[in-house]
A and B are shown apart, each in its own frame.
Chain A
Amino acid sequence: MRQELVERARRGDREAFGLLAAGEVDRLHAIARLVLRDPHLAEDAVQEALVRCWRQLPKLRDVERFDGWLYRILMRATADEYGRRRRHESTVQAIRVEPSRADGAGDLADRDELERGFQRLSIDHRSVVVLHHYAGLPLPEVAAVLGIAPGTAKSRYHYAMLALRAALEADARVGVPAEVLA
Chain B
Amino acid sequence: MSELRDLDQLVADWLRADAPPQAPGRVLSASLDRIAGVGQARPWVGPWLDAWSGATPRPRTWFVAVLVIIAMLALVGAAAFVGGQPQPRLPSRVVSNGLIAISANPIDVGGGEVGDIYLMAEGGVAQRIIGSAGDGVAQACPMFSPDGRRLAYGEARASEPVTTFRGVWPVADRAVVVVDLNDHADVSPPTMRVILPADPGEIPCPEWSPGGGQVAFRVGPELWVADVASGQTTVFTVTEAPWGEQGFEWSRDGSMVAVAEPGDIRVVRMDGSAATLISVEAGTPLSLGWTAGDDRIIYILPDPGGDGVGISAADRGGTNDTQLTERTPDSPSLENRFYFAAVSPDGTRVAYIQRTTRCANNSCTGDPERLLTMDTDGSNVIELAIPPGFSWAGLQWSPDGKRLLLDSIDGPVSLAVALGSLASVPTHGELNLEWSGSEVTWQPVFP
Residues in A lying within 8 Å of B, measured CB to CB: 12, 14, 17-18, 21-22, 25-26, 28-31, 33-34, 39, 43, 46-47, 50-51, 54-59, 61-62, 65, 68-69, 72, 106, 110-111, 113-115, 129-130, 133-134, 138, 140, 143-145, 147-152, 154-155, 158, 161-162, 164-166, 168-170, 172-174
Q: A14 contacts B36, CB within 8 Å? A: yes
Q: A110 contacts B23, CB within 8 Å? A: no
**Which residue of chain A has its CB nearest to the CB of B438?**
A151
**Which residues does chain A contribute within 8 Å of B83, judged by CB atoms?**
none
The total of Cβ contacts below 8 Å across the A-B interface reads: 179
**Which residue of chain B has its CB nearest to the CB of A54?**
B35
**Which residue of chain B has its CB nearest to the CB of A135?**
B15
Of the A-B pairs whose beta carbons lie under 8 Å apart in the complex, a sample of 22, sorted by A's number, is: A17-B35, A21-B28, A30-B20, A33-B19, A43-B26, A47-B30, A61-B45, A61-B53, A68-B168, A110-B14, A111-B17, A111-B18, A133-B12, A134-B19, A140-B244, A144-B169, A147-B168, A148-B434, A155-B391, A165-B364, A169-B359, A170-B364
Q: A148 contacts B111, CB within 8 Å? A: yes
Q: B41 contacts A56, CB within 8 Å? A: yes
CA distance A149 to B8 in the complex (A): 22
**Which residues does chain A contribute within 8 Å of B437, judged by CB atoms?**
151
The answer to whether the Cβ of B40 comes within 8 Å of any Cβ in the partner chain is yes
Task: Looking at the assembled complex, report how far the CB atom of A160 sits from the nearest CB atom of chain B, in whole angstroms.
Answer: 9
**Which residues does chain B contribute within 8 Å of A169, judged by CB atoms?**
4, 332-333, 359, 364
**Which residue of chain B has its CB nearest to the CB of A133?**
B12
If the complex has contacts A61-B53, A140-B243, are A150 and B436 also in contact, measured as CB distance less than 8 A? yes
The answer to whether the Cβ of B59 comes within 8 Å of any Cβ in the partner chain is no
CA distance A50 to B23 in the complex (A): 13
> Contact residue range for chain B?
35 or more
Q: B242 contacts A140, CB within 8 Å? A: yes
**Which residue of chain A has its CB nearest to the CB of B391?**
A155
Q: B243 contacts A150, CB within 8 Å? A: yes
> Which of B8, B23, B30, B244 has its CB near the most chain A CB atoms (within 10 A)?
B23
Task: Looking at the assembled complex, report how far the CB atom of A76 sits from the nearest CB atom of chain B, in whole angstroms.
Answer: 9
**Which residues does chain A contribute within 8 Å of B28, judged by CB atoms?**
21-22, 25, 50
The answer to whether the Cβ of B133 comes within 8 Å of any Cβ in the partner chain is no
